[in-house]
Amino acid sequence: MYAACGAVSRADHEKVQAELDSANEANKETKEDLKKETKSRKDAEKKVEQSEAEISEVKDAKDKLDTENKKMAKDAEKKGTDLTKAQADLKKMKEDLDAEKKAAEDLKTQLQEAKERAEKAETELAEKAAEAERLAEEAAKIQEEANAKVEQVMAEEKSMEAEKEKEVKQAKAPTWSTGLCKCCAKPGGVGLCMKAFCCPCLVLGKWNAQLKTEGSAPCPGGCPGGCCLGCCCLPCYMCKAAPAVAKKNGKTLNKWNACCCGLCCPCCFLTQVHREHMILLESGGGEGGGASPSEAPLQETMGEGGEAKPKPEKKEGAIWSTGLCKCCAKPGGIGLCCKAMICPCMITGKLNKYLKDQSTPGCPGGCGGGCCLGCCFLPCFMRKAGPATATLAGTEESKCKACMKGCCCPCCYLEQVYRESLILSEG
């Protein structure tokens, strides 16, 4: 019984052992399957994560693509607008090209004409070249003649030097016919002496008018110029007048000596030189000849260097159509008189504008310049406006006389000149 029980137990034990072994194998297989399943799950999770990343990338790519599509749509629309504009520009360029072609054809025609003119100019140039050769031959002949004349002039210079030496010897004689201290000598006498000491401007004015007729006046303006300018600077006046009188008498006098005498004893030197000039006039004018004092005009327009200018043809009668003191004369009347007295800038402005229209303005700037500058410097303005208006009227007015009128009676003279411009405008 025990043996049977042991056999049964052993059999059960072997069966249990077999089942246990099979269970261990199954467990082992289950573990291996579990490991495989865990690995596959991890791979699946990894694939899921990768899929989600790919989905996110695809979504971002889609958003980016949508943005690019919108941008491309806008660019396409803009390009369509640009294309329309480019077509319009192309059409305009085509029109410009046609115009340029036409201009090129015109230019070609002009070029052909210029070519013809150039050929004509070449022909003329050849003719002028031949003429130049002829002129060169004539110039050579003239040069030869000039050389001959130079030799002749050199010979004349030698003879003139000899005459000059002779004149220097003669110049040792006294320069003046009367002494410096012979204040009451004739001609002139005591009257000339008193005038020179008390009122030298009278002597200077009359003397300057006489020198003016001879073309050697030191001051412009004839008698007024000598009276005003000469008396203001007597040494400077004598520096030019004394050598001129000495030369007229065939003598020489240094300007420095004349200036020193004019500084040290001006009145005595003035009477001496003026007396010598009077002697020359009485004797017929010395070397250069001359006119008597009664023949010397006291007012005459002077040119540069004291030489008298040729006078224009004058109208008969007075210079101005109305008198200097006719303040209320027509045109203008009492209104013009009041304007000139109260607000002369209105008259100077209109007068300057009229002269500017005639291309002889007194001041720059037309009406504005005459209103400002002309009114501020009225004597200087009238010095130019008066003679200019007189010239337009066909007469002549001295600049010195116009300046003196502008200083002494500016309003009356302004009215007179402006009234003359109104008469010329109406005429």
- Does residue 272 belong to any structural domain of this protein? yes
- Does residue 395 belong to any structural domain of this protein? yes
- Does residue 163 belong to any structural domain of this protein? yes
Q: What is the pLDDT of residue 315?
A: 45
Q: What is the pLDDT of residue 17?
A: 85
- Does residue 325 belong to any structural domain of this protein? no
Query: Tell me, what DSSP letter sits at residue 305?
Result: G
Angle value at C-alpha 153, between 152 and 158, nearest 5 degrees: 100
Same domain? For 354 and 249 the reply is no
**Binned average pLDDT, 10 residues per bin, the chain of 427 residues:** 75 83 85 86 86 86 88 88 89 90 91 91 90 90 88 87 72 69 76 78 78 76 73 77 80 78 79 82 58 37 37 54 86 88 89 86 79 83 89 88 87 91 86
Which residue from 383, 410, 412, 378 is spatially nearest to 398, judged by alpha carbons? 383
- Does residue 72 belong to any structural domain of this protein? no
Same domain? For 339 and 422 the reply is yes
SS3 308: strand
Contact present, 344 and 378 (Cβ < 8 Å): yes
Six-digit token pair at 360? 């002889």
Q: What is the pLDDT of residue 172?
A: 55
| CA separation for the pair 216, 241 (Å, rounded) | 8
Six-digit token pair at 230? 């000469």
Cis link prior to 331 (omega < 30° from 0)? yes
| CA separation for the pair 37, 115 (Å, rounded) | 105
Domain boundary among 269, 289, 306: 306
Same domain? For 349 and 268 the reply is no
> How many domains does the chain fold into?
3
- Does residue 165 belong to any structural domain of this protein? yes
- Does residue 364 belong to any structural domain of this protein? yes
Q: What is the pLDDT of residue 419?
A: 92
Domain boundary among 170, 198, 224: 170
- In sequence order, the 6+-apart residues with CB closer than 8 A to the CB of 235 are 259, 262, 263, 266
Same domain? For 164 and 201 the reply is no
Contact present, 186 and 273 (Cβ < 8 Å): no
| CA separation for the pair 227, 222 (Å, rounded) | 9
Q: What is the pLDDT of residue 298?
A: 36
Same domain? For 263 and 199 the reply is yes
Same domain? For 364 and 416 the reply is yes
Q: What is the pLDDT of residue 6?
A: 76
Same domain? For 338 and 389 the reply is yes
CA 188 to chain centre: 55
Same domain? For 288 and 392 the reply is no
- Does residue 56 belong to any structural domain of this protein? no
Same domain? For 133 and 222 the reply is no
Same domain? For 193 and 166 the reply is no
Q: Which range of residues forms the domain containing residue 210?
A: 189-306
| CA separation for the pair 406, 404 (Å, rounded) | 5
